[in-house]
Structure 1
């Protein structure tokens, strides 16, 4: 995470949107500020900070003004304890990362009100295997979509490495959970399997050094 931010960049990247403000309304003091910083940091870097030292001072001041908490409260936030773990999970769920993908289990579950359909072993096996099959198929289709869009010529040069690291096939808001669907095992999707989107490698110490010097 680079440490030098111009006013225009701060406004464009670290401004809390309406949905962001909804997430911090039930929090106060250092907890409110810390959560807001975690949220915006994750949106920028597609990862969470290892410590408060990674937070740019200008960003802390700017976010603190928005949540109406003193910037000094950043040092009082629990950067290593259970609270930050809960906040990371909350942010993941809100942004549809891993935990939100798992939350689809209840809606995709084969049964009544999330309960296995029947007390016999076979019915329970079907109840458990059905969502596993559906999720596997859903992730496969979503993976093809997340590869196809960045590979389009008009989008190819726009995502940064941090943007590409943030891409995830674990979304399911496009799923229609209602109605009757006829399964045709003789028809197939026609995705362009020749697409090979650029996949950024893991972050390195050189990346961190370049970010600080930028």
Structure 2
């Protein structure tokens, strides 16, 4: 099985060296993964993103919390992108290729430092419109 794996990697490498489209596709995929890992490192900025404990249960809890935080960040970013693209001035700006390139995996709208106040008594107003009843 090891030899089959080596042969498959060699075949892929030979294809990759001669196929510019495959190189672009591979590079694009690597950029997405690097961006995803970069956001993880940004969120877990302490000790260069290393796990702070050797205890397996604490590591598991830390990774689960990171997953929840990342999924919420992606949701908020997706809603912000949707609200922005719903504005009339953006209607004819982006092509289909531009829209396919959009990703909610960014962290420029957050800060890992300071205090975050959680307001569970109201929803986030991402549309910029006044909230109902206010």
Length-normalised TM-score, structure 2:
0.65
Equivalent position to 1:174, from 90, 109, 132: 109
| 2:60 equivalent to 1:125 | yes
Q: How many residues align?
A: 111
**1: CA distance between counterparts of 2:86 and 2:30?**
26
CA distance in 1, matches of 2:79, 2:93: 19
Which residue of the partner structure matches residue 150 of structure 1?
85
Q: Would you say 1:84 and 2:23 are equivalent positions?
A: yes
Following superposition, the deviation at residue 145 of structure 1 comes to: 1.5
Bigger fraction of residues in helix: 2
Offset, 1:84: 2.7
Tell me the equivalent position of 1:141.
76
Check conservation: 1:110, 1:116, Cα contact below 8 A. no
Partner residue in 2 for 1:191: 126
Q: What's the RMSD between the two structures over aligned residues?
A: 3.0
How big is the shift at 1:150?
1.6
Pairing of 1:43-54 with structure 2 (within 5 A): none
Q: How does 1:64-103 map to 2 (within 5 A)?
A: 78-80=17-19, 84=23, 88-89=27-28, 93=31, 97-103=32-38
Contact 2:39 2:105 in 1 (8 A): no
Structure 1 gap ranges (5+): 1-76, 193-214
Which residue of structure 1 lines up, in the alignment, with residue 6 of structure 2? none
1:85 and 1:159 map into 2 onto residues whose CA distance is 22
